[in-house]
Amino acid sequence: MGEFVRESAGRKKIVVAAGSNVLTKVRDTVDSSLRGKAYWVEVSAPDLANVRKVMKAASDTCCIVGVGGGKSVDVGKLAAFRKSLPFYSVPTSASHDGISSPFASIRGLDKPYSLKAKPPLGILADVGVICSAPRRLLASGCGDLVSKLTAVRDWQLAHRETGEYYGSYAANLALMSADVVIEGSRRLGSFGKDSVRDLVEALISTGVAAGIAGSSRPCSGSEHLFSHYLDLIAPGRGLHGEKCGLGTIMMAKLQKGDWEVVRAALKSVHAPVTAAELGLKEDLVVEALVRASSIRPERYTVLSKFKLDRQKSMSLAGSTGVI
Ligand SMILES: [Zn+2]
């Protein structure tokens, strides 16, 4: 890490944001690598209070580094954006594409989806460390990757029906990442070192796709709206990528895509394919399908087109085996 951030370091301190677990594990190694320049800030939750804490620590600083699974990267990214400082992302797991994207998911804001920040100046992903993260986190990363299939179709739909800008290069880049899971699910399921490297690189690439598009469009469509709505009505149930995976199965069917292939790929990587596996009751899934598009009305998706009522939602979730 010392070599990695040295260019922007100079004589100034480096603010390192990390959760308490990660902090205990890596503090000594990072301190010696940064030759005493690290100034640690413990991140307890992905919320604005923690963003402010990191910003406060970041005076006379050359850059901010976020080390951890998700919250520290999100908090560090937004703090760096607001302080106009370079940000380095050091993910210790690969459960979603926030490790590389120009967006930060922060709780307690008026909008229940990701805020625009800026992409990291660098991403230091130690595949050995990420391999040792719980399998559930890696499976969740696969859920976030397959979601690019339905996100891109929603983007194409919006382009056709509303004239919204559509960039085929960014779209294809995102689809290539989804293919890592669709084509390679059997190999990925064992989560060996090579497979995890593919998974991490695919997640990084989707962040690049969002950067090229200048919006989260290639990475986030109706399946993400479904996941964000569940965040509101069932907080703490299921990981982001797990909920996006469930959403992708259903939205793929609604888009007349090959939802069974999505479901089979998720099963192969041991990601959940039913609401029960996430402890979600049927009526929560139905409510999320009915109301998801209301949280971001300007984002035109297949849910804006078909406007599902309770009965249609029930039949969609039932026919895909989600409930
Ligand atoms: Zn996502």
Q: Report how far ligand 1's centroid is from the alpha carbon of 189 (Å).
A: 20
Task: Using the predicted structure, report yes or no on whether residue 7 has a pLDDT greater than 70.
Answer: no
Does residue 296 carry a pLDDT above 80? yes
Share of the chain above pLDDT 70, in %: 98
41 CA to middle of ligand 1, Å?
26
- Cα–Cα distances in Å, from 309 out to 78, 288, 295, 318, 320? 37, 11, 16, 14, 17
Average pLDDT over residues 83-95: 94
pLDDT band at 320 (very low <50, low <70, confident <90, very high): very high
Q: For 301, list phi and psi in degrees, rounded to 5.
A: -140, -175
Output the CA 241–ligand 1 centroid distance in Å.
6
Q: How far apart are CA 245 and CA 259, in angstroms?
A: 11
Question: Residue 248 carries which side chain, given as an amino acid letter?
Answer: T
Burial of 5 (0-12, 13-18, 19+ CB in 10 A): buried
Through-space distance between the first and last CA atoms of the chain, rounded to whole angstroms: 45
Residue 69's alpha-carbon distances to 50, 97, 147, 240, in angstroms, are 16, 11, 20, 12
pLDDT of 33 higher than 80: yes
Distance CA 162, CA 94 (A): 34
CA of 219 to the centre of ligand 1 (A): 7
Q: What is the mean pLDDT of residues 118-144?
A: 93
Distance 138 CA to ligand 1 centre (A): 13
Reading phi first (left if > 0) and then psi (alpha if -120 to 50, else beta), residue 43 is in beta
Query: How close is the Cα of 24 to the center of ligand 1, in Å?
Result: 28
Lowest mean pLDDT among 87-91, 114-118, 197-201, 225-229: 114-118
Q: What is the pLDDT of residue 131?
A: 92
- Close Cβ partners of 32 (under 8 Å, ≥ 6 residues apart): none
Cα of 6 from ligand 1 centre, angstroms: 31
Residue 64 is inside which H or E element, if any? Answer: strand 61-68
For residues 290 and 207, give the distance between their C-alpha atoms in angstroms, rounded to a whole number: 29
CA 131 – ligand 1 centroid, Å: 20
Q: List, as ranges, residues with CB under 5 A of the ion ligand 1.
A: 144
Q: DSSP 3-state assignment of 106?
A: coil
> What would the mean pLDDT of 113-136 be, rounded to a whole number?
89
Cβ–Cβ < 8 Å for 155, 234: no
- How far apart CA 62 and CA 38 sit, in angstroms, is 11
Expressed in angstroms and rounded, the spacing between residue 178 Cα and the centre of ligand 1 is: 12
**pLDDT given at position 248:** 98
- C-alpha to C-alpha distances, 316 to 96, 288, 313, nearest whole angstrom: 25, 12, 5
- Expressed in angstroms and rounded, the spacing between residue 28 Cα and the centre of ligand 1 is 32
Task: Quick: pLDDT tens for 200-252.
Answer: 999 999 999 999 999 999 999 999 999 999 999 999 899 999 999 999 999 99
> Which alpha helices (DSSP H) does the chain contain, by range?
2-9, 20-33, 48-57, 71-82, 127-131, 135-162, 168-188, 193-213, 222-233, 240-254, 259-268, 282-291, 302-306, 310-319
Summarize pLDDT for 246-285 with one digit per residue, the tens. 999 999 999 999 999 999 999 999 999 999 999 999 999 9
Question: Could you tell me the two tokens for 186?
Answer: 């059997």
| Closest of 273, 242, 244 to residue 138, by C-alpha | 242
Tell me the pLDDT band of 116, cut-offs 50, 70 and 90: confident
- What pLDDT, on the 0 to 100 scale, is given for residue 9? 65
Q: What angle do CA 288, 144, 174 make, to 5 degrees?
A: 120
User: Looking at the predicted structure, is the pLDDT value of residue 75 above 80?
Assistant: yes
Distance 164 CA to ligand 1 centre (A): 21
Q: How far is the CA of 283 from the centre of ligand 1 (A)?
A: 23
Q: How many whole angstroms from 142 Cα to the centroid of ligand 1?
A: 10
Given a cut of 80, whether residue 119 has pLDDT beyond it is: yes
Kindly report the average pLDDT of the chain as a whole number.
Answer: 93
What is the Å distance from ligand 1's center to 148 Cα?
9
Residue 36 CA to ligand 1 center (angstroms) comes to 35
